[in-house]
Amino acid sequence: MSPSQSDLQDLAHKLRIHSINATQASNSGHPTSCASIAEVMSVLFFNTMKLDLKQPIHPSSDRFILSKGHAAPILYAAWAEAGLFPVSELLNLRKFGNDLEGHPTPRLNFIDVGTGSLGQGLSVGCGMAYVGKYYDQASYRVYVLVGDGESAEGSIWEALNFASHYKLDNLCVIFDINRLGQSEPTCLQHDMETYRKRVDAFGFNAIVVDGHDVGELIKAFDEASATKGKPTALLLKTFKGKHFPNIEDLENWHGKPLGTAAKGVLEHLNSLIRNKNVSLKPKPVTDDAPKVSISNIRLSAPPDYEPSAKIATRAAYGNAIAKIGKNNARVIALDGDTKNSTFSEKIKSASVAQYIECFIAEQNLVGVGMGVTCRDRTVAYVSTFATFFTRAFDQIRMGAISQSNLNFVGSHCGASIGEDGPSQMGLEDIALFRAIPGSTVIYPSDATSTERAVELVANTKGICYIRTSRPNTPILYDANTKFELGRSLVLRQSNTDKAVIVTGGVTLHEALKAHQQLAQQGINVRVVDIFSVKPLDVSGLKKNVTECGGNVVVVEDHYAAGGIGEAVSGALAQNISKFVHIAVTDVPRSGPPEVLLAHYKLDAQGITDKIKAALA
């Protein structure tokens, strides 16, 4: 039975009251940002959405993302009113050690992804809706609540474009158009018609709604569910601080608890409630999402390369993604229109459904990637040129807060891409991914190790990154070689090594040539393929460094800051006596790869010269 509109309205006021009480207790937070969405939260949670209180992240339940994460108190209040935890717990908002943090994170069992960095929730919702419509083919729906200030973010419009292109009619975007942002009114304020025209032009069923009218909201959500072939956007005309006397619709109240004004506001809100005992339950879930298993993902066949072959690691990624997708339809790849450069197109050729084209919108690409992996529905690989992930660093950072398990593959790393020039060169990518808490960073140097890297990250939690290269390089390993996270591989060694070269990718092949040149001159050096940049093989490297007299040479086709050199020298500081760092030292020019490598002393001759100078 559906609740009465009167009860839903009363419940909205209770949510306002909880939001005030919680932010008073924490003496911080955003009560006015909660007040504008009280009616829509009440209608969503107690009339529209199907939710499971025993398993809030139920595979079949409706999904809700509060993209304007600073309104967290009212989201927590809705779940508390639904009965998930005691209302009294809301007073622990923002206390150190309590999971009711200032912005939602998946530390809470009812949150899929962290929000709070504005503009990201809709991309994640798109990923969830894509899975719901095309993979799960289940009846659950996805609701994303977006602030009007937040909708100035380009990633919102990238996501709107994606949703309409893929006809995500199981997605409903709710714009809370409360006229105000943080420091001043939004560009469009309450110009509802301009919002409607813009969202309509993006291919949505766009409905303008009085966001404080429970009856209109119920009708609009019903229309959204009944609309096929396109997603729906509800454009709610609302007021910030609604029903807070002398605060409603006024500036200078963003992100502030009500303080001494709270008492009067609470009295007013209580006077508006007709049924003080109102208590409602969400609708139960229709359990129609299939069971999914994404554990123990393996390559369908081991790497198989002619020992004399030369193949780029990016091409090996293509071979691997096709093979790893073969045994499990839930292994998928996403790319931003670079699939014939990154070679992610190989999975598309093998199985078109296992590839999602996200077009040239990298922030949305990463957000969709986070969405498709939510609730363990898929194992996903997001690829583009390594350098373009910098554009989505905020999304990747939020991926760590969101406890996302998502794999990234960046091609075209380093100056060794050559002629295309610096705008296309990934020279900060190792630094970027190393900085992410709990991340894994793999830098394979041949086709065999690339395939194994793809297999390793499929079964590794957290944010994983594989760095691939453009030039063709020789095969170094046979199919039986074991690769592990946190384990480097020694390719050349003797009892008289004077130094150890630690490197990966294209420059590893240069280091092998340098080893030979030096050996001819009577100087033995050890050559280590780093493979696992993070976790670093600290114990293995320490022993090798000590055996080589503490002399370490790190060679990397990456800027010096934040790369392999800083990883190795940081971890081994006490065991290194001499440290030579060969890296890209300034913004490169266009030119043939070998010219660029030589310019930065990243080629065999440069490495040889640097080592001889250091040992002299």
Ligand X SMILES: *[C@@H]1O[C@H](CO)[C@@H](O)[C@H](O)[C@H]1NC(C)=O
Write out the catalytic residue numbers: 362
Determine, following the binding rule CB under 6 A, whether residue 487 of this chain makes contact with ligand X.
Answer: yes
Determine, following the binding rule CB under 6 A, whether residue 520 of this chain makes contact with ligand X.
Answer: no
Q: Which of 510, 537, 557, 603 binds ligand X (CB under 6 A)?
A: 537
DSSP for 120-187 reads: -HHHHHHHHHHIIIIII--S--EEEEEETTGGGSHHHHHHHHHHHHTT-TTEEEEEEE-SB-SSSB-S
Q: Evaluate whether 84 touches 56 at the Cβ level (below 8 Å).
A: yes
Determine, following the binding rule CB under 6 A, whether residue 237 of this chain makes contact with ligand TPP.
Answer: no
- Residues 557-576: x where in contact with ligand X by CB under 6 A, - otherwise, as a string: -----------------xx-
Query: What span, in angstroms and rounded, lies between the C-alpha atoms of 157 and 407?
Result: 24
Q: Evaluate whether 466 touches 442 at the Cβ level (below 8 Å).
A: yes
Nearest distance, CB of residue 111 and ligand TPP, angstroms: 17
Count of Cβ atoms closer than 10 Å to residue 298 Cβ: 14
Q: Which does 542 bind (CB under 5 to 8 A by kind): ligand TPP, ligand X, none?
A: ligand X
**Structure token digits, residue 564:** 């392999």
Determine, following the binding rule CB under 6 A, whether residue 150 of this chain makes contact with ligand TPP.
Answer: yes
Tokens 């766009």 belong to: 206
Q: Which of 19, 36, 42, 387 binds ligand TPP (CB under 6 A)?
A: 36
Q: Which does 490 bind (CB under 5 to 8 A by kind): ligand X, ligand TPP, none?
A: ligand X
Determine, following the binding rule CB under 6 A, whether residue 391 of this chain makes contact with ligand TPP.
Answer: no
Looking only at the bridges linking them, the beta strands covering 232-237 and 171-177 are parallel
Q: Which of 212, 240, 467, 526 binds ligand TPP (CB under 6 A)?
A: 240
Nearest Cα neighbor of 321 from 364, 350, 358, 356 is 350
Q: Which of 4, 5, 92, 117 binds ligand TPP (CB under 6 A)?
A: 117
Nearest distance, CB of residue 540 and ligand X, angstroms: 2
Q: Evaluate whether 29 touches 95 at the Cβ level (below 8 Å).
A: no
Phi/psi at 145 (5° precision) = -105, 120
Nearest distance, CB of residue 68 and ligand TPP, angstroms: 5
Nearest Cα neighbor of 299 from 438, 483, 487 is 483
Q: Which residues pair with 63 in a beta bridge?
A: 142
Determine, following the binding rule CB under 6 A, whether residue 181 of this chain makes contact with ligand TPP.
Answer: yes
Q: Which does 182 bind (CB under 5 to 8 A by kind): ligand TPP, ligand X, none?
A: ligand TPP
- Could you tell me which stretch among 29-37, 57-65, 447-455, 519-527 binds ligand TPP (CB under 6 A)? 29-37
**Structure token digits, residue 24:** 């008073």
Q: Which of 2, 270, 300, 340 binds ligand X (CB under 6 A)?
A: 340
Q: Which of 40, 84, 100, 118 binds ligand TPP (CB under 6 A)?
A: 118
Determine, following the binding rule CB under 6 A, whether residue 498 of this chain makes contact with ligand X.
Answer: no
Q: Which residues pair with 552 in a beta bridge?
A: 500, 579
Q: Which does 395 bind (CB under 5 to 8 A by kind): ligand X, ligand TPP, none?
A: none
DSSP state of 428: S
**Structure token digits, residue 330:** 């839930």
Determine, following the binding rule CB under 6 A, whether residue 26 of this chain makes contact with ligand X.
Answer: no
Query: What span, in angstroms and rounded, lies between the C-alpha atoms of 438 and 346?
Result: 29
Determine, following the binding rule CB under 6 A, whether residue 420 of this chain makes contact with ligand X.
Answer: no
Determine, following the binding rule CB under 6 A, whether residue 147 of this chain makes contact with ligand TPP.
Answer: yes
Q: Which of 473, 544, 551, 608 binds ligand X (CB under 6 A)?
A: 544
Using left for φ > 0, alpha for ψ between -120 and 50, and beta otherwise, residue 337 falls in left
Contact set with ligand TPP (CB under 6 A) = 30, 33, 36, 68, 70, 116-119, 147-150, 176, 178, 180-182, 186, 240, 254
